[in-house]
Every structure is written in structure tokens, then in C-alpha cells.
Amino acid sequence: MNLSEHASILIVVIPLVASFINIFLIFLKRSLCYPFFVLVLGICFALSIDILYTVINFGTVRYKLGGWMPPWGIEYVIDYLNAYVIVIVSSISFIIAIYSKDSVKKEITKARLPYFYSTYLLLTTGLLGITITGDIFNLYVFLEIASLSAYALIAIGEKRSVLASYNYIIMGTIGACFYLLGVGYIYIITGSLNINDLTRLLPSMYESKVTLTALAFFVVGIAIKIALFPLHRWLPDSYTFAPSAVSAFASATVTKVGIYVLIRISFTLFEPRFLTEITPLSNMLIWWATIAIFFGSIIAIGQTDFKRTLSYILIAEIGYMVLGANLGNKEGFIGAVLHMLNDAVMIACLFMIAGGIFYRVGSRNLEDFNGLNKNMPITMSAFTIAALSMIGIPPTAGFFSKWYLILGAIEARHWISASALIFSSLVNAFIFFKLLEKVYFGKNVGVLKYNFRELPLSMMIPILIMALAILIIGFYSGEIISSVIKFTVPAGF
């Protein structure tokens, strides 16, 4: 059996099966859980690289599950866009898995650890499944797997995380229901669930009210899942109170996969002209995203909790990607897709640093950042890189996606959106330089409390990898665009 041929199914099945095996490992040998967990995610990462390689060299991969022919059977279709998102998800999940070893020690009781690993693997399964599948109902199934495991992971955190998770469940279930209703409507009029099939069938039904209703359900459902302002209420609490490793993983991947689904629905399931000419959806989303950017940024200024600040910044960043994808030109779209990668790396890095600070200082309060550089100089230099990237200072990665986004906004003559992007950069500059000033020039009070060292290696190395990735991705932006992202741009842009 050629392993590479089945990589697309293995990458979903392996973490799924592993999450069950992991539970049984408790009875065998508890200490094996963690190495097994990291190993599985390492394999997923390797497979994702293999898939990307296959797509780049041999074009779109189509994998028919159980040999059933589409549109009756479930089909996995991997083109450049999926392959790209798969690499993002699996690499981030792998790196944060390494990071979680020491990080979760202070946040999760030891008895729960194996369950944490299992749920984490399930979340990875769900996210990879959503990305890889070519079937809108199958997508729903994975969406639920991912959501349910995310609810559970968030609820493992500190006391208040249970309530946060509960809010997330309510909102997330509404989102999933809306998505499912969308699927139902589409199925009623076309009798098909296969995305490729639907692409062929739907254009004749663009005028139908059912199609419009389905589209509305899809968009609102996904908007809840990606926390597009004002449907964001579940996000800040969840990501603030969840364990740091979970915050980092979920913030970096769940929303990106959501954006991926939005792009898939908008530009593969439907044709771009459906969103621009027949319905005003693109235009609506542009305004919606612009408002999200403004509000996310403004609310972020007022926060005192570091993870909560990051959550609101994330809400603004989601606006970036939705905006870029809908601007209707190549530059904006490239910016959005590039930002999926950049934002995933930056936000994961920052949440990991937040976890690191919590690990040593036991606080997430911005006031407690004073003079941290004296105790954790290496972590803080990673923080500086991530912060500069968030602001969009070249040559960090954040600059390049922002460049394309602003270019796209100006190309589309959406001046207000362009100013929203710049406004958000300025807000990030304000937030992060205030912090950097505390970190480097603040006087730390209370000697005893601050008598600590750098992070343990298992936390520091993943953080450093992410910080280096920000720089490397920045320098290779052009390479990434010309070899992958260029091909994700929908025809007609």
C-alpha cells in the first residue's frame, strides 16, 4: 500500500483512532500518554506536508471514501487552499502539543491530563476533517466534532471557564444549526451534497429564493463560528479562561478553519458573481468586516487581561480576513489567505507567551508585565517579534499580509476599509508598545514574587519556533504566494 496515496484519509483517521487509544493507555502506562499524543500529531504534520507536496506537484487530490463514486459517496477533495489550511492546522497543533507538556501542569489537574490529550486529538481530527472534505454534510459532521471537543477543552480550564464554555455551546450550536439548515435547503433543491457537483448544479438556481435562504443560513452560521462581530460574544470569555495551550490552539486554528469554510462556500460552492452581482453579500460582508475591525480594536484597548486583549485583537483580525476575501480583487484575496497563516502563527505565539507568563507569574494582568525582561529575556524577545508582526512592521510576516489587504482595499476603492486596517494597526501599536514599555522599562515590585527564571525548554522552544516562523514567513511571503496562494484565488478576480 502506498502511504502517500492514502494520506488524505490517514490524516483524519489517525488522530481520531489515537484519541481513543489514548484513553486506554491510562490503564497501560500513564506516562506514555504524552509521547504518544505528540507522536500522533507529528505524524499528522508530516502527512500534511506530504499532501501539500502532492498538490503542488500533481494538482488537486481526489480521494473517494470506500470506493463510492461521487456524488453518492463522500469525496475528499484537496486543492491548494485545503492543503495550505491543513498544513497550518497540523503544524500549529503539533507545536502546541509540545508546548502543552509543562504548560498544562499548572492549569489542569493531573488526573484529567489523558482526557485533555484525547480531546485535543479529537479537535485536530475535526478541524482537519472540515478542511479536507468535499462534501457539505460531511463538513457539518466534522464541524460538530471540532465544536464539541472545543467546548470540552475550554471547560477544562479555570473555574469560570465552565460558564464561558456554556455560552460557547449555546452560540456554537445555533451556528451549527444554521449551517445544517443551509445544507438542508441546498439538498432539497439539488439533491446533492458534493461540493463539486453542487458547483455544477447551483448556477441554474441562483434566482431561487431557496438558494438565497441557504446562503443566508450558511453565512450567519459560519459568522457565529468565526466570531465575526457582533456575533463574537462567546469568544473572549472562552479563550481567556481556557487553559493556555487550548487558547493558543483554538484561537490559531478554529477561526482560520471557519474562514476557510466561508471562502469555500462563497467562492467554490457558489460562483463569485453570485455574491457580487446577484446578491449584495460581498458588499455586506465588507462593511460587516470593517465594523468588526473597528470594534474589535477599540474594545481591545480597554482590556486589562492579556488573554482577553488578545481575544479582541483576534476578533479584529477575523475582520481582516473576511474583508480581504470579499474585496473582489486578487490583492485582497491573497492578503486574506496569507493572513490566515500569519495570524495563526502570531496569535498562537502570543497566546503561548501569555501561557508562559501565567506559568511563571501566575497572572494574566497587564500590570504584572513590569520588568519581565529581566527574568525572561528570551521569551520577551519572542514577544517583541510577535508584537511587531501584529502591528505590521516589516520585515515581520504581519506586514506583508497587511500590505496586500490594504492594497486590495485601495484597489477596490473601499477607503473606509483601508482606514479600518490602518486604524487597527495603530491600535495594536498602542497596545503592544504600552506592554513592551512595561516589559523593558517597568520596575518590578515585590522581589519575592519575581524571583523566577526563564520558561522550561518544552515551552520556550515552541515559542521560539513560532517567533522565528514569523520572521521566516515574512521573508518567504513572495515564495508562499507564488507557489501556493496564487492558485487559491477564485477565477474572475
Partner 1 sequence: METIISLKPILAVIVSTIASFLIAITGDRARNLRETWTILAAVIKFGIVISMLPDILNGKIIEYTLLKITPELILHFKVDALGIFFAITASFLWIITSFYSIGYMRGLNEHGQTRYFAYFAIALSATMGVAFSANMFTAFLFYEIITISTFPLVAHKETEEAKRGARKYLAYLLGTSVAFQLTAIVITYNITGNLNFSYKGVFIGANISHTIITITFLLYIAGITKAAIMPLHSWLPAAMVAPTPVSALLHAVAVVKTGVFMVMRVVLHIFGIDLLKSFDLGTVLAIIASFTIISASIMALKQDNLKLRLAYSTVSQLSYIVLGVALLTPSGITGSIMHIVGHAFGKITLFFTAGAIYVATHKTKISELDGIGKQMPFTMGAFTVGALSMIGIPPFAGFISKWYLSLGALEAGDIFVLAVLATSTILNACYFMPIIYIAFLKESKSIINNRKINEAPMLIVIPLVIAAIGTVFIFFYPSIFIDIIKVIILAVIGNN
User: Residues in the site for partner 1, rule: CB under 8 A?
Assistant: 388, 391-395, 400, 403, 406-407, 410-411, 418, 422, 425-426, 429-430, 433, 437, 440-441, 443, 474-478, 481-482
Q: Which is nearer to partner 1, 260 or 404 (CB)?
A: 404
**Closer CB to partner 1, 120 or 333, in the complex:** 333
- Least CB distance to partner 1 at residue 334 (A): 9
Contact status, residue 328 vs residue 281, Cβ threshold 8 Å: no
Contacts of residue 479, Cβ cutoff 8 Å, sequence gap at least 6: none
Q: Is 220 helix (H, G, I), strand (E, B) or coil?
A: helix
Nearest Cα neighbor of 146 from 21, 231, 253 is: 253
- CA atoms in the 13 A half-sphere facing the CB of 96: 35
DSSP string, 123-143: HHHHHHHHHHB-BHHHHHHHH
b/e code 195-228 from CB counts within 10 Å (16+ = b)? bbbbeebbeebbeeeebbebbbbbbbbbbbbbbb
Instruction: State the nearest-atom distance from the C-beta of 319 to partner 1, in Å.
Output: 18
The answer to whether the beta carbons of residues 126 and 140 sit under 8 Å apart is no
Give whichever of 147 and 379 is closer to partner 1, judged by the CB atom.
Answer: 379
453: alpha, beta or left? (left if phi > 0; alpha if psi -120 to 50): beta
Shortest separation between residue 219's beta carbon and partner 1, angstroms: 29
* Run of H or E including 75: strand 75-78
**CB of 393: closest distance to partner 1 in angstroms?**
5
What one-letter code names the amino acid at 194?
A: N
Listed in sequence order, the residues at least 6 apart from 177 whose beta carbon sits closer than 8 Å to its beta carbon are 221
Q: What is the CA radius of gyration of the chain?
A: 22
Query: Cβ closer to partner 1: 230 or 394?
Result: 394
Min dist. Cβ of residue 432 to partner 1 (A): 11
Q: How far is the CB of 385 from partner 1 (least distance, A)?
A: 12
Nearest distance in Å: CB 401, partner 1: 11
Instruction: Kindly tell me which of 67 and 478 has the beta carbon lying closer to partner 1.
Output: 478
Distance CA(202)–CA(269), nearest Å, equals 8
d(CA 348, CA 254): 11
Residue 350 or 397 with smaller CB distance to partner 1: 397
Taking the complex as a whole, the smallest distance from the CB of residue 445 to partner 1 amounts, in Å, to: 15
Cis before 394 (ω within 30):
no
Our CB check for partner 1 shows the closer of 95 and 469 to be 469
Closest to partner 1 by CB, 204 or 381? 381
